Amino acid sequence: MHGPSTKTQGPCGLSAILFPAHAADALTAAWPATIVRPAMSWSRGPPPLADRLEHYHWFIVALLALPLAGGIFLLARDRLSEPAELQITNTESVPTDIRVYISGAVRSPGVYPLKDGDRWIDALEVAGGAAENADLNAVNLSKRVQDEDQIFVPAQGGSSPASNGQTPLVNINTAGEAELQTLPGIGEVRARGIVQSRTTQGPFASVEELLMRKVLPQSVFADIEPLITVQ
């Protein structure tokens, strides 16, 4: 019923049986599907690259995300471990209120509050200004005020509050730093030392206590002794 088969001599003397085309189709149709299908699947080859990438894309994403997550973690850890920066606020010096006593030829003599950096002319203004007979040439109005300053404005043709027409003695228990600096050999540092000594150890009982308390050396004390007093 099927065409005759032919026998041929193959390589190495092996014989092969060749069937007609319709006989081969019939043989394939009659062969069990479980045997034919695997042979057909083998002939298809491996799946395409796109299918394989789609199958493993979550795995690839995870591999790429791990270094990124690790870098973020390390950066956050380093920032948390860094010491907090100290913020230093630049605080400007607040002007300190000081008190000065102004007397003499002024309209309203008395003790007035001023601020550090003010000058004697500012003290004169807060005292109501100079009187009509004030001798302003006898006062250095450009001086800066110091706490406990005593500013005396003499009258024209008048005398200072000194006895017998002499220069008034400086009371080392009440004079401010500016007044003390009018004494020979007394600068800012020594004037501050006199004020601090009477503040911490009490008023001076005599001018010689400047030596006993070691506030001034003997040479400076000898120069100012005739010009100072204690009251």
Backbone angles phi, psi at 152, to 5 degrees: -115, 125
Residue 187 reports pLDDT greater than 60: yes
The two tokens of residue 79 are: 């920032």
pTM: 0.34
Grade residue 41 by pLDDT with cuts at 50, 70 and 90.
very low
Whole-number average pLDDT of the chain: 74
Of 21-30, 93-102, 123-132, 157-166, give the range with the top mean pLDDT. 123-132
- For residue 146, how far is the Cα from the chain centroid? 33
Q: Classify residue 106 as exposed, middle or buried by CB count within 10 Å of its CB (0-12, 13-18, 19+).
A: buried
Query: Can you tell me the distance from the alpha carbon of 41 to that of 27, in angstroms, rounded to the nearest whole number?
Result: 19
- For residue 54, how far is the Cα from the chain centroid? 56
Give mean pLDDT, residues 55-59: 65
Contact 225, 170 (CB under 8 A): no
Grade residue 51 by pLDDT with cuts at 50, 70 and 90.
low
- pLDDT score of 109: 81
- Per DSSP, which regions of 10-137 are E strands? 15-18, 97-104, 110-115
- What is the SS3 assignment for 23? helix
Q: Return the H-helix or E-strand segment holding 149.
A: strand 149-153
